[in-house]
Homo-oligomer: A and B are copies of this chain.
Amino acid sequence: MGNVIIGQSGGPTAVINASLAGVIKASKKSGIKKIYGMHHGIEGFLKEDLIDLDDYIKDMSDLSLLKRTPSAFLGSCRYKLPEIEGNEDVYEKMFGILEKYDIEYFLYNGGNDSMDTIKMLSDYAAMHDKPQKFMGIPKTIDNDLPLTDHTPGYGSAAKYIATSMKEIIRDNESFGAAKPTVCVVEIMGRHAGWLTAAAALSKDSDCDGPDLIYLPERVFDIDDFMERVKKLAAEKSSVVIAVSEGIKVADGRFVCELGQSNDYVDAFGHKQLSGCASYLTNLITQETGLKSRAIEFSTLQRCATHLASRVDIDEAYNVGYIAAKSAFEGKTGMMITLEVVSREPYLVHYNQYDIHEIANVERKVPKHWITNDGTYVSEQYLEYARPLIIGNILPYYTGGLPKHLSLKYHKR
């Protein structure tokens, strides 16, 4: 058996390192000699910037800490391989590196674009009769990969979003003896509304949940929005709204683009940009005089491992483990997928699909899961998402703060 290499790619998640831990455990179990990591994914690989994981992971205690470390431990990248035709030199170079390090198993952990890397490399291997195996490990908070019930990383992001929404709603309700405050929370997801939908999970026997939820799957109508805000503000002492960063008005412009003028520059000659929540709260205050507040979860929603879902960590670990094991068994050009056999009790199978059916395909929230004229999500969505946020794996705390494994500080 040859060696293993694993890369992490695209936007990090709270559980991406759990998949790395799964790959390492499967490799150790199978007696693999060397486990390499790509430093900053395929971009580092092309520069032969490889990490010997034995320098960092000595025992189960290191592996447990790795599972509790947010963001890509190996470093990530956003890098798309060129077409094979006309770029054979790039591919020859890559296979040259694989041969040089006796790497037989190539694993790549990422979203749609990253699966394209597996597709290209396995295609090239098939064309040139190369022995190496290439397997994809799913990862993205965006939850937009096809053929898998959901994607590792989504559950923890959803748990962070739902928890923070509960806390924000509670905070916003604490005032409101006089005029209500309208709070607009902006959530990631340019094209698919999976993350924004997770705001609805905060609705429970102890919490109203957000009053309105806007996904990018539907056209955003500003007039209708303002009407609804005014009505809510007349009825309630606290109004909280969840919006996707990707909502667009009918003419196709992003809401976050509406506040920007090409002419306007500040005192220093710079153009000012703002997010869509910021745009909408300004609009609300100007039109109604109500106090409003814009909140963006920003990168916190993809790196809050302190609040990761146990189901998500376990599944991320498992897809890593199974991808490695499948490669050792000779599989190539595939991605591991999750099939939920039963949502209650929650039971999962792991399958694998041809990477050609997955790469570059984007899965959106089903239209019929969006309700109330596009201002909320349905019970079907909630039944889908509820099992994914269950359970915790607590950080290791030192000095009151979660401890992380670091490429920079923990080389032995």
Q: Which residues of A contact B (CB under 8 A)?
A: 8, 12, 39-41, 43-44, 69-72, 75-78, 159, 162-164, 166-168, 170-178, 183, 201-202, 204-208, 258-261, 264, 266-274, 278-279, 282-283, 286-287, 293-296, 298-300, 302-307, 309, 386, 389-392, 394, 397-406, 408-410
Given A206-B404, A272-B274, A400-B389, does the pair A76, B175 have CB atoms closer than 8 Å? yes
The CA of A208 and the CA of B406, in the complex, are separated in Å by: 10
Partner of A171, one of B71, B159, B400: B71
9 smallest CB-CB distances across A and B, nearest first, come from A389-B400, A40-B177, A171-B303, A72-B174, A71-B170, A167-B303, A270-B286, A390-B400, A71-B171
Cα–Cα, bound, A8→B173 (Å) = 13
Which residues does chain B contribute within 8 Å of A208, judged by CB atoms? Answer: 408
Complex interface: chain B residues within 8 A of A305 (CB): 167
Contact of A293 among B39, B298, B302 (CB under 8 A): B298
Tell me, rounded to whole Å, the shortest Cβ–Cβ distance linking A270 to chain B.
4
Choose from B206, B392, B401, B403 the contact partner of A397 (Cβ within 8 Å): B392
CA distance A332 to B408 in the complex (A): 56
Q: Are A300 and B295 in contact (CB under 8 A)?
A: yes
Within the complex, the shortest CB–CB distance from A67 to chain B, in Å, comes to: 14
Q: How far is the CA of A300 from the CA of B306 in the complex (A)?
A: 15
CB distance from A407 to the nearest CB of B (A): 8
Question: What is the total number of copies of this protein in its complex?
Answer: 2
A286 to B12, CA, bound (A): 26
Question: Quick check: B296 and A272 within 8 Å, CB to CB?
Answer: no
In the complex, 5 of the A-B residue pairs with CB atoms within 8 angstroms, ordered by the A residue number, are A69-B170, A202-B401, A259-B272, A295-B300, A307-B307
Measured between beta carbons, the chain B residues less than 8 angstroms from A183 are 299
Residues in B with CB closer than 8 Å to A294 are 298
Hey, which chain B residues are within 8 Å of A309, CB to CB? 400
- In the complex, the answer to whether A271 meets B266 with C-beta atoms within 8 Å is no
**Chain B residues closer than 8 Å to A306, beta-carbon distance:** 163, 167, 307
> Is the beta-carbon distance between A401 and B303 smaller than 8 angstroms?
no
A302 contact set on B, CB distance < 8 A: 171
Contacts of A172 in B (CB 8 A): 299
A300 contacts B168, C-beta separation under 8 Å: yes
A270 to B222, CA, bound (A): 14
Given contact pairs A174-B72, A259-B266, A400-B390, A168 touches B282 in the complex (Cβ within 8 A) = no
Give the interface centre of A12, A177, A306 by most chain B CB atoms within 10 Å. Answer: A177
Residue of B nearest to A177 (CB): B40
